[in-house]
Structure 1
Amino acid sequence: MILLIRSLVVIVSLFFLPLGAHALWWTTRDDVASNWRSADWSSAELLPQPAAAPQAIVAIYAARVGRWRGIFAHHTWVVVKEEGASQYTRYDKVGWGSPVRTNGWAPDGRWFGNVPQPILFIEGEAAARLIPQIQKAVAAYPYRFSGNYNAWPGPNSNTFVAHVMRSVPELGTALPPTALGKDWQPFRDIVGLTPSRTGFQISLGGYAGLSVGWVEGVEFDLLGLVAGLDLRRPAIKLPGWGRIGMDPVI
């Protein structure tokens, strides 16, 4: 009985108290768009204009999702630009229409009015080597068709980006802990490597799990909520709040 009580205290302290505190903070915001139509989807001007940056570029962005869901979740996407290209190409997976979208929004656009944060930025020869692999991973995503989207626990938009990262481990970064669905794996793949292939991952269909890796750090997943530590670039990871500490982008 004592062990059960202690376990419940740990679970509440790690997962539900931080989430509750973030929910309270979220209600004080006056800049949350009330609906899809009124939200700002314009460029946040994080990327250079293609004419001013002829080099190849690879980027991954994350932005809070809309309304109350922004309390605990980010949407993530991938952006590429080949050397000398006149525009960027953005890849998202969404739950309406054609699930894998190409250039559905500005490459560095706000998501439901929320300014995106960079998760990864690579340019030059390194980016040029990675782009063909990224394009191949996008085309090979197994849940890219209509009806293959499940907001919780997955597969969803973040499962898609995690797939790209798993297919191209040279990207060498991790999605934020608030990227709900990033740890989803079918039950046939309960145990495997982390997307960076620097550690191992246990995923119980996205309902619970554990990841330990040099790039991902230590992450405990419960119902899609993630708590953990990043030792490589020191930070703590809390449900709702996300990553608190050193910037993940090197």
Structure 2
Amino acid sequence: MNKSLTIVALATLVSACSNADWRTASREPAGIAPDPQQEQEAVIEVYGADAFSWRGWFAIHTWIATKEAGASEYKVHEVVGWRVERGQPALYSYHTETPDRYWYGAKPEKILSLKGEQAAQLIPKINQAVQNYPWKNEYSVFPGPNSNTFPAWVSLQVPELGLEMPFSAIGSGYAN
């Protein structure tokens, strides 16, 4: 392949990276989570979306959302590497009505969804597992710990979840 063709191919690949600028990438709700104002049952959902930029060609970012029965918001738990770079814990939890927001331009998909009594019984176990997560302040793209290590580790602590991480959840095997 000649040099010009190589440069054009590389430029095409780079331009195909969605979300070259994280500041302008969509963080809108995807509309796939039950509305917490209308859903009165307990809910557990695990989401995955293509990782940011070129990493999304082969890997996803995952997170866990829980909503207790009668709650008007979800509690989202996730691990993010750039928090460590800023001197903050990689693991953080926050409350929101929209746990299914786009991951910097990438639409999330549900990996797991549980409702009702089963979810109500598992939420306290998930909360305990979140508290006990051993890599709260660590992040490594490969082999982990990373955003996929976290839900995989929670699922080992709470096997009743029945969470099966997708192949593209690189770093999920770190928890084993």
TM-score, normalised with respect to structure 1:
0.60
When the two chains are superposed, the root-mean-square deviation of aligned CA atoms in Å is: 2.1
Cα deviation, residue 98, structure 1 = 2.6
Instruction: Specify which of 166, 173, 191 is matched with residue 156 of structure 2.
Output: 166
Q: Does 1:100 align with 2:91?
A: yes
Say which structure is richer in strand: 1
Alignment CA distance shift 1:131-1:45 (3 Å): same
Alignment CA distance shift 1:104-1:74 (3 Å): farther
1:1-250 correspondence to structure 2 within 5 Å = 27=13, 32-95=18-81, 96=83, 97-103=88-94, 106-145=98-137, 148-185=138-175
Q: Matched residues, percent identical?
A: 40
- Give the count of matched residue pairs: 160
Deviations 1:73-96 (A, max 9, x none): 100000000000010110001111
TM-score, normalised with respect to structure 2:
0.84
Looking at structure 2, the residues matched to 179 and 27 of structure 1 have their Cα atoms a distance apart, in angstroms, of 22
**Which letter does structure 2 place at the counterpart of 1:140?**
N
Say which structure is richer in helix: 2
**Which letter does structure 2 place at the counterpart of 1:65?**
A
Deviations 1:201-249 (A, max 9, x none): xxxxxxxxxxxxxxxxxxxxxxxxxxxxxxxxxxxxxxxxxxxxxxxxx
Q: Which residue of 1 aligns with 2:6?
A: none
Cα deviation, residue 141, structure 1 = 0.2
Alignment CA distance shift 1:104-1:128 (3 Å): closer
Structure 1 runs (4+) greater than 4 angstroms displaced: 28-31
**Which letter does structure 1 place at the counterpart of 2:67?**
K
Q: In structure 1, the residue corresponding to 2:164 is in which secondary structure?
A: coil
Uncovered stretches (5+) of structure 1, i.e. residues with no partner:
1-23, 186-191, 193-250
Q: In structure 1, the residue corresponding to 2:172 is in which secondary structure?
A: coil
Looking at structure 2, the residues matched to 44 and 27 of structure 1 have their Cα atoms a distance apart, in angstroms, of 26
Looking at structure 2, the residues matched to 157 and 36 of structure 1 have their Cα atoms a distance apart, in angstroms, of 17
**Which letter does structure 1 place at the counterpart of 2:91?**
V
**Which letter does structure 1 place at the counterpart of 2:120?**
A
Q: Which residue of 2 aligns with 1:234?
A: none
Looking at structure 1, the residues matched to 159 and 110 of structure 2 have their Cα atoms a distance apart, in angstroms, of 18
Q: Which has the higher contact order (CA 8 A, sep 6+)?
A: 2
Q: In structure 2, the residue corresponding to 1:50 is in which secondary structure?
A: coil
Looking at structure 2, the residues matched to 41 and 51 of structure 1 have their Cα atoms a distance apart, in angstroms, of 20
Deviations 1:28-70 (A, max 9, x none): 9858111110110111111121121010000000000111111
Cα deviation, residue 117, structure 1 = 0.7
Q: Which residue of 2 aligns with 1:197?
A: none
